[in-house]
C-alpha cells in the first residue's frame, strides 16, 4: 500500500501489517552497503529495545546510513513503501522512544558522528546527529568552551537523541535544556525534503519551528545536522553537601535558596534510602544518618563562587541543616556528584530490576508526593528510592522490583502510573526529561484532554502527513485513551465524550 492512501489520524492506531517486506529490503539494499543494512534476526536483536528494556520488539530491518544522502534515500524508500521509520541514536533513552516498530525500519544515526566544525569565536559547534553529548564538550575544551546540557547518560547519548528528547541534566536549572542550547537543526522530512530550522543568528523568520521540533521524539522529522551553542567554561566550581533530619526541611531549604535570589549551578536531593543505596558502592562520603541530603553547586570566578557558597551556606544553615560540608578540592566535588550520578546503577545493585519515574511537580508539593509514595510502597508491596532534581521539581523515584517474580512488573507499572497521575494532579507533568515514548503513552491521557491530543496529532500531520515517523509513540490516539479507561472527569466534563465505551 502506498503512503498516499494512508493518512495519519488522531482517532485510532494505523495498521502497517500489509507492508511489502521483500520489496522494502530490496529497495534498501540498493541504497546501503550490505554492512549498513541489518535484517537477520541475530543482527536485529541488539536493536530490540532502548534504555527501557521492559519493552522489546524486532523491526523489519535496521538501516545504518553514513551520510545525509543515504538518510534521505532510506526515508524516501520507506515513504514510497508506506513503512514506519523509528530513528535511533545511542539507544540510551528511558521511555522506549526508540522501541522498534514490528513493521518498520530502525534508522540508526550512530554512524553519522562527525564534528563538522567548531567555531570558538562564534561559540558554536556544528555536529552530525550521532556525535555523543560529551564528545562535543571534549572537542570544545581546547577553546575553554563546553556544551552545557549534561544528561546523566552524556558519555554515551547522542546529540540527535538529545534533540529528540529535549534532554536536561543536573545543571539545567542555570544553563537550560536542549531547547535553550540548540541554534539550528537540519531536518529530513518524511518525503525526503530537507529543511533547516533556526540558524546561526539569534532567530529565524516565521513560527519558531525549532522550539516545536525539539523534544518531538522523532515524530516530526529526522535530524542530520545540529548547531549547538557553546558556553565559556566556568573557571571554578564548588559544591555544598547539606544534611537534613527531615525531607520536608530539605525541600523548604531549596525554596529558601531560591527565595534568597540564588540560582545554583546544580541543586539535587537524595532521600535516605537513596544515599544508603549509593554510599557502599561509590563511597561519596554521604551522611547516612540524614533523612535527606542536598547537593548545591556554585560555579563562576573564584571570588563569585566564594561569595555564593557563603550565601548558600547561610541559607541552608538557617533552614535547619544538621551538617554542612563544602568541597575543598575538585576531586572532592566530583566525589559528591559521583554518588548522585551513580544512583541508577546503585539501584541496579540492590535490586534485580528498577523502574525510573520522571514526573515534575511544583516543588512546594514535594511533601505530598513523598507521603503518597510511602503509602504506595505499602499498597504495592514494593520499595522506592528517591532522587530529585530539586531545583526544577523533577522527581526520579526508582521503584525496585524483580521481573522474575510473577506479578511484580505489573505492580511496578501500576505504582509508576499512580505516581505520574499524582504528578499531574499536583500541577506538574508526567515527564520532565525522559520523554513519553512508548512507556508513558497511556499517562498522556491523564495529562491532556482529547482536544489537545487532537491538536498534537494535527501538528504531527502538518510535518508528517502519512504518519510514518515513529508511529504509536509520544501521543496516544483517542481510541487508546478511551480503551485505557482513563475517563477522568475534569471540570465537570467527561473526556473523549465523542467515543463509544466498551
Partner 1 sequence: MSNVVEDFRSRILEKKPLRIRGSGSKDFYGGPLVGDVLETRAHAGIVNYEPTELVVTAKCGTSLAEIKSVLAARRQFLPFEAPSFGDDATIGGVLAAGLSGPRRMAVGSLRDFVLGTRIMDGSGRELKFGGEVMKNVAGYDVSRLMAGSLGTLGLILEVSLKVLPLPVAESTLRLEMTQADALAVMNRWAGKPLPISATCWHDGLLTVRLSGAEAAVRAAQATLGGEVLADADAFWDDLREQRAAFFGGETPLWRLAVPSVTPVLDLPGPILLEWNGAQRWLRGEFQPSTVREVMTTVGGHARLFRGASEAHRAVGVFRPLPPAIHAIHKRLKQVFDPYGMFNPGRMYSDL
- Return the residues of window 19-48 that contact partner 1 according to CB under 8 A: none
**How many CA atoms does the CB half-sphere of 395 hold within 13 Å?**
30
Q: In the complex, what is the shortest distance from the CB of residue 202 to partner 1, in angstroms, rounded to a whole number?
A: 4
**Which one, 206 or 406, has the nearer CB to partner 1?**
206
Does 318 participate in binding partner 1 (rule CB under 8 A)? no
**Distance separating alpha carbons of residues 199 and 126, to the nearest angstrom:** 11
Three-state DSSP class for residue 14: coil
Does 456 participate in binding partner 1 (rule CB under 8 A)? yes
**Which one, 75 or 197, has the nearer CB to partner 1?**
197
**Do residues 306 and 375 make contact, with C-beta atoms less than 8 angstroms apart?**
no
Binding mask 428-447 for partner 1 (x = CB under 8 A): xxxxxxxxx---x---x--x
Q: In the complex, what is the shortest distance from the CB of residue 430 to partner 1, in angstroms, rounded to a whole number?
A: 5
Only one of the segments 29-37, 55-63, 141-149, 326-334 lies at the binding site for partner 1 (rule: CB under 8 A); that segment is 141-149
Comparing C-alpha atoms, which of 483, 486, 465 is closest to residue 14? Answer: 465
Q: In the complex, what is the shortest distance from the CB of residue 327 to partner 1, in angstroms, rounded to a whole number?
A: 19
Q: How many residues of this chain interact with partner 1, rule: CB under 8 A?
A: 96
Please return the burial class of 278, using the count of CB atoms within 10 Å of its CB with bins 0-12, 13-18 and 19+.
Answer: buried
**Do residues 253 and 294 make contact, with C-beta atoms less than 8 angstroms apart?**
yes
**Do residues 333 and 239 make contact, with C-beta atoms less than 8 angstroms apart?**
yes
Only one of the segments 102-110, 241-249, 336-344, 423-431 lies at the binding site for partner 1 (rule: CB under 8 A); that segment is 423-431
Footprint of partner 1 on 237-276 (CB under 8 A): 255-256, 258-259, 261-263
Does 146 participate in binding partner 1 (rule CB under 8 A)? no
Does 235 participate in binding partner 1 (rule CB under 8 A)? yes
**Distance separating alpha carbons of residues 433 and 411, to the nearest angstrom:** 24
Cα separations (Å) of 462 from 11, 465, 467, 471? 16, 6, 10, 14
Does 216 participate in binding partner 1 (rule CB under 8 A)? yes
When binding is defined by CB under 8 A, the residue of 394, 412, 442, 470 that contacts partner 1 is 394
Parallel, antiparallel, or unpaired for β 236-244 and 323-326? antiparallel
**Do residues 43 and 62 make contact, with C-beta atoms less than 8 angstroms apart?**
yes
Q: In the complex, what is the shortest distance from the CB of residue 427 to partner 1, in angstroms, rounded to a whole number?
A: 6
Footprint of partner 1 on 349-368 (CB under 8 A): 360-364
Q: In the complex, what is the shortest distance from the CB of residue 28 to partner 1, in angstroms, rounded to a whole number?
A: 24
Footprint of partner 1 on 90-109 (CB under 8 A): none
List the beta strands (DSSP E) in 89-144.
105-108, 115-119, 124-127
Amino acid at each position: 500500500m502506498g503512503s498516499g492512501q494512508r493518512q495519519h489520524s488522531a482517532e485510532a492506531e494505523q495498521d502497517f501489517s500489509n507492508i511489502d517486506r521483500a520489496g522494502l529490503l530490496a529497495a534498501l539494499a540498493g541504497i546501503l552497503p550490505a554492512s549498513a543494512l541489518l535484517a537477520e534476526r541475530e543482527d536485529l536483536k541488539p536493536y530490540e529495545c532502548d534504555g527501557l528494556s521492559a519493552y522489546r520488539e524486532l523491526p523489519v530491518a535496521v538501516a545504518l546510513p553514513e551520510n545525509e544522502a543515504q538518510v534521505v534515500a532510506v526515508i524516501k524508500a520507506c515513504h514510497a513503501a508506506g513503512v514506519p521509520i523509528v530513528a535511533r541514536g545511542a539507544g540510551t533513552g528511558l521511555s522506549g522512544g526508540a522501541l522498534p516498530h514490528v513493521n518498520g525500519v530502525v534508522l540508526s544515526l550512530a554512524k553519522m558522528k562527525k564534528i563538522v566544525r567548531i567555531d570558538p569565536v562564534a561559540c558554536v559547534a556544528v555536529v552530525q546527529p550521532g556525535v555523543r553529548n560529551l564528545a562535543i564538550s571534549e572537542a570544545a575544551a581546547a577553546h575553554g568552551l563546553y556544551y552545557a546540557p549534561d544528561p546523566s547518560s552524556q558519555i554515551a547519548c547522542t546529540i540527535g537523541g538529545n534533540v529528540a528528547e529535549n534532554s536536561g541534566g543536573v545543571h539545567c536549572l542555570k544553563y537550560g535544556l536542549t531547547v535553550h542550547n540548540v541554534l539550528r537543526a537540519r531536518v529530513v522530512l518524511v518525503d525526503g525534503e530537507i529543511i533547516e530550522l533556526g540558524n546561526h543568528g539569534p532567530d529565524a523568520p516565521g513560527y519558531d519551528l525549532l522550539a516545536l521540533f525539539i523534544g518531538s521524539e522523532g515524530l516530526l522529522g529526522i535530524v542530520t545536522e545540529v548547531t549547538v551553542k557553546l558556553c565559556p567554561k566556568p573557571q571554578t566550581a564548588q559544591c555544598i553537601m547539606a544534611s537534613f533530619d527531615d525531607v520536608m526541611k530539605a525541600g523548604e531549604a531549596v525554596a529558601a535558596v531560591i527565595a534568597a535570589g540564588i540560582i545554583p549551578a546544580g541543586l539535587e536531593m537524595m532521600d535516605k534510602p537513596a544515599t544508603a543505596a549509593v554510599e557502599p558502592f561509590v563511597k561519596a562520603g554521604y551522611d547516612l544518618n540524614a533523612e535527606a541530603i542536598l547537593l548545591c553547586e556554585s560555579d563562576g570566578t573564584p571570588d563569585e563562587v566564594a561569595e555564593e557558597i557563603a550565601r548558600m551556606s547561610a541559607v541552608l544553615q538557617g533552614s535547619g541543616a544538621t551538617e554542612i560540608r563544602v568541597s575543598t578540592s575538585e576531586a572532592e566535588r566530583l566525589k559528591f556528584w559521583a554518588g548522585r550520578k551513580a544512583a541508577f546503577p546503585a539501584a541496579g545493585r540492590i535490586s534485580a530490576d528498577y523502574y525510573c519515574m520522571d514526573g515534575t511537580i511544583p516543588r512546594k508539593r514535594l511533601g505530598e508526593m513523598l507521603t503518597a509514595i510511602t503509602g504506595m510502597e505499602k499498597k504495592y508491596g514494593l520499595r522506592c528510592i528517591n532522587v530529585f532534581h530539586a531545583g526544577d521539581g523533577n522527581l526520579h523515584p526508582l521503584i525496585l522490583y524483580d521481573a522474575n517474580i510473577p506479578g511484580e512488573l505489573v505492580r511496578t507499572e501500576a505504582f509508576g502510573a499512580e505516581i505520574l497521575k499524582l504528578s499531574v494532579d499536583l500541577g506538574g507533568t508526567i515527564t520532565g526529561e525522559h520523554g513519553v515514548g512508548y512507556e508513558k503513552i497511556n499517562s498522556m491521557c491523564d495529562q491532556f484532554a482529547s482536544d489537545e491530543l487532537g491538536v498534537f496529532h494535527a501538528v504531527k500531520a502538518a510535518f508528517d502527513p502519512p504518519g510514518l515517523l515513529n508511529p504509536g509513540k509520544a501521543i496516544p490516539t483517542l481510541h487508546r485513551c478511551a480503551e485505557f479507561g482513563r475517563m477522568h472527569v475534569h471540570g465537570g466534563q467527561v473526556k473523549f465524550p465523542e467515543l463509544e465505551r466498551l
